[in-house]
Amino acid sequence: MVTFTVRGTLLSTPTPDRLQVREDHVVTIDDHGVIATVEPASVSVVADVTLPEGTYLLPGLIDLHVHAPQWPQLGTGLDVPLDEWLFQYTFPLEARYRDRAFAERIWASLVPGLLARGTTTAVYYSSIHEPATLALAEACVRFGQRAFVGRVAMDHPEGTPEFYRDADAITGVEASARSLEAINGLGSPLVRGIITPRFIPACTDALLEGLGELATATGALVQSHCSENDWEHQYVLDRFGVSDSVALARFGLARDHSVLAHGCLLSDDDMTVLARVGAGVAHCPLSNVYFGNAVFPVRRAMARGLRVGLGTDIAGGAEAGLLPVCAHAVNMSRVLEDGVDQRLSPAGRGVSSSAIDVTTAFWLATGGGADVLGIPAGRLEVGERFDAISVATRPADRPGIGVSVWDLDDWPRVFEKIVRLATPADITGVWVDGVPAAGISVAG
Ligand SMILES: [Zn+2]
C-alpha cells in the first residue's frame, strides 16, 4: 500500500562519476519506507509533498565516523598531535559520560543537529559507558535517525588513562556484548549496535580477540581506526610486526562491512587485504589535516576495489555537516594531486591521478557509505529505503543569503553549488525510512 508521494526534481549520483538529473518526477514510498516507484510526473498529479521551484530532492547523507561524546568540543582542541589530544582533551571529556543525565543533554543536541545538516545515517562511537550508549541509541530512535551505535571498548593500561578504561579484557567484552544486545533489543528498524574497539593502541590482545569472537558470534558490524597516522601506524608495526589492516584482519575485526576510519597510511597491500575481506574506509579529509600526517588516496583505494565513504570524525574534524566534508574531500584530493612543497619541481610535488570531483565526493557521502555498511540507502532508486533531503536554492537576483542559482547555471553547476555551498538553513526537508525526521520542517 502506498503511503505517500513526493514530487520534485531529483539530483543523485548513481555511480562515482555520474550525476543523474530527473526533472519533475514523483517518488512513491510504501508503508515500510521503501521507494516503490520513481516516475516522471504527469501534469495533473497531486503529490503529498510537492517541492517548490528551485528546491531539489537528494539522497540522505551517510556519516561513517562520528565520536558522539566529542560533540561539545567540536571546533576546538586541534593544536596537539593525536596521542596528546586524546589524553589532554578527549579522554577527560568522554569520561564524563558515566553520568547518563549529562549524556542525554548532549545527545539531544547532537542527533537533531546532524539530521538538520542532512545526515540521515550516522555511525557513532559512544563512550565506554553502557547507559550513555543506550541513551544515544534511544535518541536516534526518538529523533528518527538511522544509526549504528557502539560502546567503545578500551582496556590497555598504556594506551588509556586509569580513569577511563574497561577494568580488563573480559569486563570489556562482556560490556560490549550487553550493550549490543540492549541496543538491538530496542527493536528499532533504524538503529543497530556495532562492535567498537577504539583502536589497537587502546586495546590489549585479549580484548581484540574477544571482540573478534563477538563479531563472529553475533554477525554485528565492527568499527575501529586503521593506519590513521604515523604514530598509530608505527605503534601497530612495532607491537605485532604487521600493519594495522593485517592485525585487525587476524583478530577477525576487519571483516565484511567493517568501518575503518582514516586509513591515511594504508599501503597497496593493505588495501588489497581490506578489499578482500569487504571492509571499508571512512575517509575523514578534514580531520586528517590535523591528525593524519598524510592525505588518504581516495582514487587509488577505489581503483583497488576498496569500499570508501565519508566521515566528519567529530570532533577531530571541526565540521558537523557532510556536505562541507564533500568539499573538503575534493580540496584534499587536489592538494594530494598538486603537492604542497613549492621548493620541489611541479612534476615531483604531487601524486598524479589523485583528484576527485564533487560528483565522486557526493557519491562517497551517499552510495559509497551505504556500500561500506551494506545498507539499502544512499540511492533514490526503487527498492531502497527513502532516506532523503530537500535543498532549497534561490534566484541569484533576489538579494539575501542562500545557494544562488543564475539562469546561466546548468544542472552540473546547480548540483556543485548545492554540495559546496548549502548550509543547514538551505536543507528544508529530511526523511529517514520514509518519515520526516522529528523536529525538522519539511518543505511542501
Ligand atoms: Zn575517530
Residue 401 shares a structural domain with residue 272? no
Give the distance (Å) from ligand 1 centre to CA of residue 260: 9
pTM summary value: 0.97
- Sign of the Cα pseudo-torsion (192, 197, 198, 200, in order): negative
- Tell how far the Cα of 168 is from the centroid of ligand 1, in angstroms: 22
Rounded to the nearest angstrom, the distance between the alpha carbon of 398 and the centre of ligand 1 is 41
CA 50 to chain centroid, in Å, comes to 29
> What separation in Å is there between the alpha carbon of 285 and the centre of ligand 1?
12
Dist. CA 124 → ligand 1 center (Å): 10
Whether residue 155 is contained in a domain is answered as yes
Spacing, Cα 312 to ligand 1 middle (Å): 9
Ligand 1 centroid to residue 138 C-alpha, Å: 22
**Do residues 53 and 71 both lie within one domain?**
no
Q: What are phi and psi of 414, to 5 degrees?
A: -60, -45
The confidence score (pLDDT) of residue 396 equals 82
Q: Give the chain's domain count.
A: 2
Give pLDDT tens digits for 285-298: 999 999 999 999 99
* Whether residue 107 sits in one domain with residue 47: no
Residue 397's domain is classified under what CATH number?
2.30.40.10
The set of cell numbers assigned to 174 is 562482556
Distance 199 CA to ligand 1 centre (A): 9
Domain boundary (348, 373, 398) is at 373
Q: How close is the Cα of 2 to the center of ligand 1, in Å?
A: 40
Q: Got the DSSP string for 152-206?
A: EE---TTTS-TTSS-SSHHHHHHHHHHHHHHHHTT--SSEEE-BEE--GGGS-HH
Q: How many CB atoms lie within 10 A of CB 161?
A: 13
Q: Cα(405) to centroid of ligand 1, in Å? A: 36
Give the span between the Cα atoms of 439 and 420, in whole angstroms: 25
The three-class DSSP label of residue 101 is helix
Q: What is the pLDDT of residues 7-35, one digit of tens each?
A: 999 999 999 999 999 999 999 999 999 99
Ranges in the chain, pLDDT < 50: 442-444
Written as one letter, the residue type at 245 is S
The answer on 402 and 332 residing in a single domain is no
SS3 category, 55: strand
Domain span at residue 384 reads 2-58+378-436
The alpha carbon of 67 and the centre of ligand 1 are apart by a number of angstroms equal to 6
d(CA 102, CA 118): 25
328 alpha carbon to ligand 1 midpoint, in Å? 17
Q: Are residues 70 and 32 in the same domain?
A: no
Same domain, 45 and 158: no
Domain boundary among 373, 397, 427: 373
Residue 142, domain CATH: 3.20.20.140
Note whether 273 and 321 are same-domain residues: yes
State residue 3's pLDDT score. 83
Distance CA 291, CA 424 (A): 27
CA 261 to centroid of ligand 1, rounded, Å: 6
Long-range contacts of 219-222 (CB under 8 A, 24+ apart): 220/180, 220/184, 220/192, 220/193, 220/194, 220/195, 221/148, 221/192, 221/194, 221/195, 221/257, 221/258, 221/259, 221/373, 221/374, 222/194, 222/195, 222/196, 222/197, 222/253, 222/254, 222/255, 222/258, 222/259
Q: Please check whether residues 182 and 272 belong to one and the same domain.
A: yes
279 alpha-carbon distance from chain centroid: 14
- Say yes or no: 30 and 108 in one domain: no
Same domain, 333 and 404: no
Domain identity same for 16 and 133:
no
| 444 belongs to a structural domain | no
3-state helix, strand, coil in the chain (%, to 5): 40, 25, 35
From first CA to last CA, the distance across the chain in angstroms is 22
In the DSSP assignment, the letter for residue 6 is E
Q: Of 352, 373, 394, at which residue does a domain stop?
A: 373
> 258: Cβ–Cβ under 8 A, 6 or more apart, which residues?
221, 222, 223, 224, 248, 277, 278, 279, 280
Quote the ligand 1 centre to 151 CA distance (angstroms): 13
| 345 and 423, same domain (yes or no) | no
From 206, 225, 230, 215, select the one nearest 157 (Cα to Cα).
206
Q: How far is the CA of 242 from the centre of ligand 1 (A)?
A: 21
Helix (H) or strand (E) run with residue 317 in it: none
Q: What is the pLDDT of residue 102?
A: 98
Q: Would 442 be classed as within a structural domain?
A: no
| pLDDT, tens only, 62-120 | 999 999 999 999 999 888 988 899 999 999 999 999 999 999 999 999 999 999 999 99
